[in-house]
Amino acid sequence: VAKCRSRLAVQPHPGRAVLFYSQLPNGKPDYTSLHGGCPVLAGQKYA
């Protein structure tokens, strides 16, 4: 949980999304797109 507060976080809003491109234009993996989820503090998580 400590890492969740020290990195980039996005506040959820109904009807919005976050998109991560996992490949480069040449088809190789884009390792800078690696991401993770943090525990939900209140409410429900939708994925």
Query: Residues in the chain with pLDDT < 70?
Result: 1-2
Domain range annotation of the chain: 1-36
Distance (Å, rounded) from C-alpha 29 to C-alpha 34?
A: 10
Residue 1 pLDDT: 60
The pLDDT value recorded for residue 34 is 83
The pLDDT assigned to 21 comes to: 87
Rg (the chain; Cα; Å):
13
Residue 44 has a pLDDT of: 83
Model-level pTM? 0.49
